[in-house]
Amino acid sequence: MADPSPIEPGDHQAYMRYALSLARKAPPKPTNYCVGAVLVDEASNRIVSTGYTMELPGNTHAEQCCLAKYEEQQDIKEIGPTDTASKRLVLYTTMEPCNKRASGNLPCTETILKSKSKRNGGIQTVYVGVKEPEKFVGENAGRAKLEEAGIGYTHVLGLEREILAVATAGH
């Protein structure tokens, strides 16, 4: 995804709508939320990866799929210095990244923190459409962890009802 995004730089609601369009691709199940994620190089306004719940094999979350696809594109095992040094990566996700996984997979918050901790690059800001409901794992402390690590966290207002309707399809 090397071309500049058709979305205007800083149009957070438009990026969130794009993430919501991806969430609609997730298979509805009673045991997960349908979430979409978009990874953007903010400096160049390029979409560098996208993902949605269950896009990749296994019980995969949107952020996990998005970052795994980005890593594969870069031919790297983890987001490292060469691919992030000149980029200001931001992540748009329709739902707050999880902080706990019942499936045994790495929580999305930890995956995001790994991207930041590798060097000076990684994800700088996470834009979120809705807070994660407490249905599966209780209170989500992901926001606090991200902010403690210096990762910005911004709630994009205006799409909550639509996002929750898509996220809870199949429940």
**pLDDT tens for residues 128-160?**
999 887 665 556 788 899 999 999 999 999 999
Domain presence at residue 6: no
Domain presence at residue 56: yes
Q: Which domain holds residue 32?
A: 12-167
Does the active-site annotation cover 72? no
With a cut of 70, say whether residue 76 has pLDDT above it: no
Domain presence at residue 40: yes
Q: Which amino acid is at 166?
A: V
Domain presence at residue 134: yes
DSSP secondary structure of 59-117: T--HHHHHHHHHHHHHT-SS--HHHHTT--EEEEEEEPPPS--SSSSPPHHHHHHHHHH
From the candidates 42, 55, 63, 134, give the one annotated as an active-site residue.
Answer: 63
Domain presence at residue 1: no
What count of other Cβ atoms lies within 10 Å of the Cβ of residue 25? 16
pTM above 0.85, yes or no: yes
Domain presence at residue 2: no
**In total, how many domains does the chain have?**
1
Q: How far apart are the first and last CA of the chain?
A: 33
Domain presence at residue 7: no
CATH code of the domain in which 58 resides: 3.40.140.10
